[in-house]
Amino acid sequence: MKAFVVSRYKAPVELAEVAEPRVGERDVLVRVQAAGLNQLDEKIRAGEFKQILPYRPPFTLGHDVAGTVVEVGTGVRGFKPGDEVYARPRDRRIGTFAERIAVDEDDLALKPASIGMTAAGSLPLVALTAWQALVEKGNVEAGQQVLVHAGAGGVGSIAIQLAKHLGAAVATTASAANADFVRGLGADVVIDYRSQDFEKLLSGYDLVLDSLGGENLEKSLRVLRPGGKAIGITGPPDPAFAREIGAGPVLRLAVAALSSGVRRRARRLGVRYEFLFMRSSGAQLQRIATLVDSGALRPVVGKTAPFDQTPEALGALEKGGIRGKAVITNP
């Protein structure tokens, strides 16, 4: 079958003929009809995560899939050929920039019935990230105040809607050109990051979802109420993350050192910092599908490209300016 392969770290993504996926006992073979594009794909290609999430080249990128079940393993009970599904395949089993992919049954869910494949393919990684940040780590409740950075982006556009569904008052940072767009998603307060300083305008927030890191994360700590929490999805990673991935002693120390400064500053302010590296979950995707079908969440697809233009579409992510997600399609 055809797939877009990375022959070595930092090498360009190239079209190649690869072996058909092996379908294990608990696996579901899916014909890929849509695959979301994520900055994570580019970071993996560039080798930024190879110490904590190594892949042996050649490997295929792609973390989002929507498509149709072709075959199921002998132990699969929840899916059958012909089902329309979506997933974020687990780490070390990615590879949705291909014609077919074998996905563990636990990572898979029936796609929302109310949307098409392209919209469904945009959702898994960003929706799971928003869910795990706001529901699992953030425990967001009605009446709380939540700040979502980069509200017009992939994660931000879903996180605004989810926080609003949970009953929170939502602030976000965006360009002036995207102000009306993020208000339409549910943002109550919009900060123009080009001309305004959110630290001077906001205070007393319960939770900040930070997707930028660096100085933006440092300032985010200072808009929290005592006991509030900042959740970072670009880093730096924290010791809890090192434990989750089963890192050895040397790597655990290295990871702890990366975030020691921000964790120390958070403690001085009486707030907390946690790193989120989202995980796959078919059960959570099924709950997200229910929210989509009820109208509480709507996918945001800002750009599409055909399968054969995957390298160009992935490269265009660095230019920014895409509302929501970019998706490659292979009907």
Give the pair of three-digit tokens for residue 74: 């002998």
**What digits encode the pLDDT tens for the residues 198-233?**
999 999 999 999 999 999 999 999 999 999 999 999
Query: How far apart are the C-alpha atoms of 313 and 133, rounded to whole Å?
Result: 27
- Helix, strand, coil percent values for the chain (each to nearest 5): 35, 25, 40
DSSP β-bridge partners for residue 68? 31, 84
Cα(25)–Cα(72) distance, integer angstroms: 8
17-31: pLDDT as tens digits: 999 999 999 999 999
CB 9 within 8 A of CB 45: yes
Across all residues in the chain, what is the average pLDDT?
A: 95
Q: Are the beta carbons of 153 and 324 closer than 8 angstroms?
A: yes
Whole-model pTM?
A: 0.95
pLDDT digits (tens, 9 = 90+) for 277-330: 999 999 999 999 999 999 999 999 999 999 999 999 999 988 888 999 999 999
Between CA 300 and CA 85 the distance in angstroms is: 18
Mean pLDDT value across residues 259-285? 95
Q: What percent of the chain has pLDDT over 70?
A: 100
Domains and CATH numbers, the chain: 2-123+299-329 (3.90.180.10), 125-275 (3.40.50.720)
The residue ranking higher by pLDDT, 3 or 248, is 3
Dihedral sign (CA 318, 180, 192, 185): negative
Residue 73 confidence (pLDDT) above 90: yes
